[in-house]
């Protein structure tokens, strides 16, 4: 089955999209899963689907990554049970709104900053000491093309993903002298619930984002994350920028019609 068989993979934001696809991909490699998100019921349904495979036990918890106490409690519960992630996929995140900064909603800004940056920090801070003690581990952050190039009205979402990129680079430096690795997978357009969330439930507006070209599927991104996690211990695939073939930069896309 390969390198990841029997390893423990913790995925945040596993109730949907890229996170759920990661759960399925890593389960197929025989990994043990720890799945976190706020919508615990969805995690339970996913765990039941994956639980058919006795080689891949799944542990779920309803965790809001913005809630530092909840993150610390869930990480502590894992440590007490001797569960230490070999791979941490920091995937939980969102965009909220697409407005010029001067018209933006500060509540949207708070949600993005609290989830994409502070949530990723809380989760990493709570788990890394256990991974360091175990002497192994790989942190894979889900960044974005939005962390490489700003696009019109992307402002705060761009800032959070530029921040994720800085945190991946910073963590990689801070882990010097240890066997742990830090990497990021930075996708372009992926058709998930992302745009429905961004547009506060407006499905028509969300669908229009992916009109006229074939976007990435969540499974495409999960495959890249799985590839990063599968590299031999002396190899770090430090960064992958994964685009739909029709996407030329963060905001230029060949669309039919
Ligand atoms: P989805 O909306 O489908 O999934 C987002 C996931 O994040 C959900 O499982 C959601 O779970 C979870 N999440 C959101 N807020 C929190 C929170 N406070 N605490 C815990 N979990 C949370 O979108 P994607 O799968 O597309 O997004 C996953 C990641 O990929 C994000 O970081 C996003 O920025 C990034 N990305 C997405 C791209 C795209 O085009 N779709 C492109 C590049 C990067 P729940 O609501 O149950 O808590
Ligand atoms: C998500 C990709 O371009 O919609 O990170 O911001 S984009």
Indicate the helix (H) or strand (E) that contains 61.
strand 58-62
For 139-165, how does the pLDDT look when each residue is reduced to its tens digit (9 = 90+)?
A: 999 999 999 999 999 999 999 999 999
For 90-137, how does the pLDDT look when each residue is reduced to its tens digit (9 = 90+)?
A: 999 999 999 999 999 999 999 999 999 999 999 999 999 999 999 999
**Closest atom of ligand 2 to CA, residue 154:** 6
CATH class, 8-242 region:
alpha beta
Give me ligand 1 centre to Cα 50, in Å.
20
Pocket test for ligand 2, best of 145, 187, 199, 220 (most atoms within 8 A of CB): 145
For 76-96, how does the pLDDT look when each residue is reduced to its tens digit (9 = 90+)?
A: 999 999 999 999 999 999 999
**Closest atom of ligand 1 to CA, residue 160:** 34
Asked if residue 65 has its Cβ within 6 Å of ligand 1, the reply is yes
Can you give the pTM of this predicted structure?
0.98
Question: How far is the C-alpha of 179 from the C-alpha of 158, rounded, in Å?
Answer: 31
Give me ligand 2 centre to Cα 145, in Å.
7
| Ranges of each domain in the chain | 8-242
Indicate the helix (H) or strand (E) that contains 36.
strand 32-37
pLDDT for the residue 56 = 59
Asked if residue 15 has its Cβ within 6 Å of ligand 1, the reply is yes
| Average pLDDT for the chain | 97
Active site residue 157: yes
Give me ligand 1 centre to Cα 94, in Å.
5
pLDDT for the residue 23 = 98
For 40-52, how does the pLDDT look when each residue is reduced to its tens digit (9 = 90+)?
A: 999 999 999 998 6
For 154-199, how does the pLDDT look when each residue is reduced to its tens digit (9 = 90+)?
A: 999 999 999 999 999 999 999 999 999 999 999 999 999 999 999 9
Which percentage of the chain shows pLDDT scores above 70? Answer: 98
Where do the H-state alpha helices sit in the chain?
Answer: 17-28, 40-50, 68-80, 106-112, 120-134, 155-174, 194-198, 203-209, 218-230
Which percentage of the chain shows pLDDT scores above 90? Answer: 96
């Amino acid at each position: 089955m390969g390198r990841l068989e029997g390893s423990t993979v913790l995925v945040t934001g596993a109730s949907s999209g890229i996170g759920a696809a990661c759960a399925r991909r890593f389960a197929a490699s025989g990994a043990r899963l720890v799945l976190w998100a706020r919508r615990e019921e969805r995690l339970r349904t996913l765990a039941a689907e994956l639980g058919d495979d006795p080689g891949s036990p799944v542990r779920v918890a309803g965790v809001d990554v913005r809630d530092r106490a909840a993150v610390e409690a869930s990480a502590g519960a894992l440590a007490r049970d001797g569960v230490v992630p070999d791979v941490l996929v920091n995937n939980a995140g969102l965009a909220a709104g697409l407005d010029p900064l001067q018209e933006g909603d500060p509540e949207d800004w708070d949600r993005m900053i609290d989830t994409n940056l502070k949530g990723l920090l809380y989760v990493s801070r709570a788990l890394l000491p256990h991974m360091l003690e175990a002497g192994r581990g790989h942190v894979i952050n889900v960044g974005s093309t939005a962390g490489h190039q700003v696009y019109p009205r992307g402002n705060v979402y761009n800032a959070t993903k530029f921040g994720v990129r800085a945190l991946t680079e910073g963590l990689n430096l801070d882990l010097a002298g240890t066997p742990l690795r830090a990497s990021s997978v930075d996708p372009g357009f992926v058709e998930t619930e992302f745009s429905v969330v961004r547009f506060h439930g407006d499905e028509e507006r969300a669908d229009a984002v992916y009109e006229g070209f074939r976007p990435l599927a969540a499974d495409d991104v999960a495959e890249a994350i799985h590839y990063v996690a599968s590299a031999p211990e002396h190899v770090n695939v430090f960064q992958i920028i994964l685009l739909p073939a029709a996407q030329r930069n963060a905001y230029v896309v060949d669309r039919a019609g």
